[in-house]
Amino acid sequence: MEVLRIEDVSKRYGNTQAVNRFSLKINKGNIYGILGPNGSGKTTILAVILGIIKQDSGFFQWYNTKKNSTTKKLGALLETPNFYSYLSLEKNLKIVADIKKVDTYSIDEVLEKTGLLERKYSKYYTLSLGMKQRLALASVLLGDPEILILDEPTNGLDPEGIADVREMILNQAKSGKTIILASHILTEVQKTCTHVAILRKGRILQSGEINSLIKSKNTIVVSSDENEKLFDLLTRSGLYEKVEIINNEISIDLKENSEAKDVNEFAFKHNIILTKFEAYKKSLETEFLRMMKSS
């Protein structure tokens, strides 16, 4: 079931093109990571689909209907949330519940899910940074929304806090929720998300299931004094998943039935001596860095 469709959305701030013809489809149950460096347009696209800012062109639809009728199904954490410093966690969440027009009976439940129930009556100013982020997540969960939209949910957290947030996200996904997660932390996206859209300067470089983006067994990076000839031979051979030149080096994605030594043997067979030969286990990080360099 399609939950969100975004078609050719663009947004400009003065001379800066924040989002450039962004298109994406998200289905129910996806944990969809919007991955990109700072300034790549992640927060802008989330603000657009939440109706906080208006896009310059393009459109989006929740559940194939107008967004206003779906706002109660959304729970969002966008940038830094505002809480009252001298109020308790419980009272802050009561205010959030009133704003969201949802019942307050679930306050204890969301505090328990985020590990804050014992601090229910603590003042907000007494919380650590990690606890403040957990309270922000608790506010998102109020009303049991069907879709969670999280902008850098692990921002500023220590490793233990990051692991806790990851576990919370995965538990919410297991309960059937759809999650849209913006982050610049590659490892967390790979550990948490089922799908990813990789952004650079507001434009999607690639999107889809994470496993399909890193399906190749290995990536080999080679170089020689005859790079153009070698690149041409490798490309025309049809033996490899993908061959491309990045920063004057040749990046080769192996097919399932290929091995790293085959590349060396191929070059030797054509009387080309390799001056560089490095093998990498393909990961979201290597794919992301490759795209950043080649785009």
Q: What is the pLDDT along the chain (295 residues), one digit of tens a residue?
A: 899 999 999 999 999 999 999 999 999 999 999 998 888 999 999 999 999 999 999 999 998 765 555 566 889 998 767 899 999 999 999 999 998 888 888 999 999 988 899 999 999 999 988 888 889 999 999 999 999 999 988 877 888 888 888 888 998 999 889 999 999 888 888 889 999 998 988 999 889 888 777 665 578 899 999 999 999 999 999 888 889 998 889 988 888 777 888 899 999 999 999 999 988 766 666 666 666 665 5
| The domains spanning 2-209 and 218-294 adopt the same CATH topology | no
Please give the Cα distance from 32 to 25 (Å, whole number).
Answer: 10
Q: Which two tokens stand for residue 106?
A: 């679930």
**Top-tier CATH class for 2-209:** alpha beta
Please give the Cα distance from 255 to 211 (Å, whole number).
Answer: 15
Residue range 218-294, CATH number: 3.30.70.100
Beta carbons within 10 angstroms of residue 171's beta carbon: 11
Q: Looking at the DSSP assignment, which residues form a beta bridge with residue 76?
A: 149
Please tell me the total number of residues recorded for the chain in this structure.
Answer: 295
Least Cα distance to 169 among 283, 156, 158, 182 occurs for 182
Q: Which two tokens stand for residue 171?
A: 């538990």
Residues 6+ apart with CB under 8 A from 223: 248, 249, 250, 274, 275, 276
> Which pTM was predicted?
0.75
Phi then psi for 276, rounded to 5 degrees? -145, 135
Q: How many CA atoms are closer than 13 Å to the CA of 220, on its beta-carbon side?
A: 23
Predicted confidence (pLDDT) per residue in 35-74, tens digit: 988 889 999 999 999 999 999 999 999 987 655 555 668 8
Per-domain residue ranges for the chain?
Answer: 2-209, 218-294
Phi then psi for 240, rounded to 5 degrees? -125, 155
